[in-house]
Amino acid sequence: MLALCWEGETVTLRADGRADALWRHTPDHPAIIVWRGEAEVLMNRGNFRLSDLPEPTVELRSARPCGVEMVELAPEAGAEAVIRLRVDGHRLVIDALDPSLNRCTIRLPATADEQLWGCGEQLSYLALRGRRFPLWTSEPGVGRDPRREITRVMDAVAMAGGDYYTTNYPQPTFLSSDGYAVHVDCDAYQCVDFRDDDAHRLEAWAIPAALEFYVGEPIALVEQLSARFGRQPMLPAWAAGGAIIGLKAGDAGFARLDVMRAAGVAVSGLWCEDWCGIRETSFGRRLFWDWQWNPARYTDLPARIAALRAEGIGFLGYVNPYLAVDGPLYAEAKAAGFLARRLDRDEPYDVDFGEFLAGVVDLTDPAAAQWFAERIVGREMLDFGLVGWMADFGEYLPTDLRLHSGEDPMEAHNRWPVLWAAVNARAVASRGRTGDALFFMRAGWTGIGAHCPLLWAGDQLVDFSRHDGIGTAITAALSAGLLGNAWHHADCGGYTSVQGVVRTAELLHRWFDLTAFTPVMRTHEGNRPDENLQVDSTASLLAHFALMTRLHAALAPYVLAAGAEAVSHGLPIMRPLFLHHADDPTCWTMQNQYLYGRDLLVAPVVTEGVEARAVYLPHDEWLDLYDGAPVAAGWHQAAAPRGRPRRPPRQAIRPKSLHRQPRRRRPRTA
């Protein structure tokens, strides 16, 4: 429970059993600053550049009580109040008394040695301190590092370069090593700034409805946050029992699948994005955005699906909430009035997706959302025999269209992925397939886990680059998992191949090793499949891939057992080390190794050209995964030959001591 406390002219927000204030206001350091702004937005195919035209800011220096657990804030003593604050359980409710104001900055107290995590699915940094993070769902970008030539080129061509903070799934929620978490109840654009030693700054392009505070150790915070935002159901057992093979070669893909199976690949699903047809563009091989079976691409798909099902292999497809203007479903949606409209006239708003146009199904219209759930996902996909699909492009909503709900698209944009996830979940539930049919998304916002059963890390470059390569798949899983998203995975091999960046055999070998230790092991041919190595391109690649798929399948009972904690407590399967070792500051910033459930520690190689890596084992009892021999806690230099997970040496080379011995039920394995 929260309480507002007065100490002279200082107002603090405190929680039961916690000595430090969660929020503090003084006349010299006002906690809230307000102003009015006007957004300027540039958009290009899911990439956004946002700027603000602000009026002068107003510091709310004067605070006065106005009732039980209520405070009014004004620019100065005697002036008319602008903001009213009141406590409601764990929420500090913010009532805006001046409707003309639409911007605010809120200051929260910070400590110098505090570390922070969260803010949705972050790709570059798990530990957030020392940086600012704009929160706006978008394409994450190509390269995501303005110092790289590929990023500068993509920025110049299509605003598509990105930066360390761009992400498909942001969320205004963060956890602190000081034992608390904060969620900002607001869907508008926000920016959190963790660069100062004495204050965290939360900026929003709206007056938030409330700040929500949670108190406890990291595990307790994850449990509280996952209960607040919604927990994913158990992963279907079939999805953990082997690899989901991604092929977009039409009928030719079935013969390739047979070769892989003959080579010993453990297969749980065949994922064919191109079940709806393809469209060749300058970017690469894309799909025909009309979400129904394309017989020209797959001549006898119903029979193929039935045959695969008889062998325990599911068939998966692809869908997104846009309809190509040259497809029959667009005409159907247009006739029913289910497409978002232009601002200047009563016609559908058609988006240029690069060499083709598509309409926006208006998910704020309950009739349109129901039509998509039943007509497309229900009839054309689930009833047709699909057991899963990629539910793509939740982050693309333009901000200059007219929605059925009448709301400002600037307010709806971040929430759009959650509406999209709810459409898919509704269709699955309507067929009684929750916990069996599996769709996966990259876009998200507050509450995505309540609807989406599986996240994926978006479109990594097919390389080892620091901000857009293989390593970002780990950071994405660890950050998103703190907010209730227990199940996460990535495209094995990466996706984006541009400007001469293509897959190497080394990259694929390293990605095989990584994805064997993720809940779902799914391959992707990428945007330029003919120019890139595939899992079956060489005998050595295929043999290694087959080995790791069998290891992945062998771990399924362990993964599903760990999934019981996800359902009951919201704990992710891939966990940052600090989740179980919060008293070890070495674990706070570690993002290239993780706990897989409680009892396995995984340290993948995500650096090019190395055959060994440093591995840190927190203070605990560790056993060798292969022979059960004890392994010392601390730092190890472990051999890491491609294609073979290896144990660290028995003795640490630089052991660390911790403040206390954690409780443990049984030895862990590394």
Q: 325 with 317: CB under 8 angstroms?
A: no
Q: 613 with 253: CB under 8 angstroms?
A: no
Q: Give catalytic status of residue 408 as yes or no.
A: no
Q: Of 255, 179, 253, 263, whose CA–CA distance to 213 is shortest?
A: 179
Q: 529 with 200: CB under 8 angstroms?
A: no
Q: Give catalytic status of residue 611 as yes or no.
A: no
Q: Would you put residue 521 in left (φ > 0), alpha (ψ -120 to 50) or beta?
A: beta
SS3 state at 12: strand
Q: Give catalytic status of residue 459 as yes or no.
A: yes
* Calpha distance 258→307 (Å, rounded): 12
Q: Of 522, 543, 550, whose CA–CA distance to 263 is shortest?
A: 543
- Which tokens in the block code for residue 463? 């390389």
Percentages (nearest 5) of helix, strand, coil residues in the chain: 25, 30, 50
Q: In the Cβ-directed half-sphere of 417, how many Cα atoms lie within 13 Å? A: 32
* Candidates 145, 392, 513, 536; catalytic one: 392
∠ Cα 31 39 157 (to 5°): 125
| Burial classification of residue 80, based on how many CB atoms lie within 10 Å of its CB (0-12 exposed, 13-18 middle, 19 or more buried) | exposed
Span between the terminal Cα atoms of the chain, in Å: 40
The residue count for the chain:
670
E strands, 60-136, in order: 62-67, 70-74, 83-88, 91-96, 103-109, 116-120, 132-135
* Calpha distance 192→2 (Å, rounded): 23
* Calpha distance 424→363 (Å, rounded): 11
- Which tokens in the block code for residue 519? 């809940």
| DSSP secondary structure of 439-486 | EEBS---TTGGGT-S-EE----BSS--TTTSTHHHHHHHHHHHTTT--
Q: Of 66, 93, 81, whose CA–CA distance to 6 is shortest?
A: 66
* Calpha distance 169→422 (Å, rounded): 16
* Candidates 187, 290, 380, 395; catalytic one: 395
E strands, 370-437, in order: 388-391, 401-402
- Which positions ≥6 away from 389 have C-beta within 8 Å? 316, 317, 318, 319, 381, 439, 440
Q: 162 with 468: CB under 8 angstroms?
A: yes
* Calpha distance 33→189 (Å, rounded): 16
| DSSP secondary structure of 152-203 | HHHHHHHS----TT--S-EEEEEEETTTEEEEEE--S-EEEE---SSEEEEE
* Candidates 459, 463, 468, 620; catalytic one: 459
Q: Of 189, 194, 176, 170, whose CA–CA distance to 120 is shortest?
A: 170
* Calpha distance 548→512 (Å, rounded): 6
Q: Which residues are catalytic?
A: 392, 395, 459
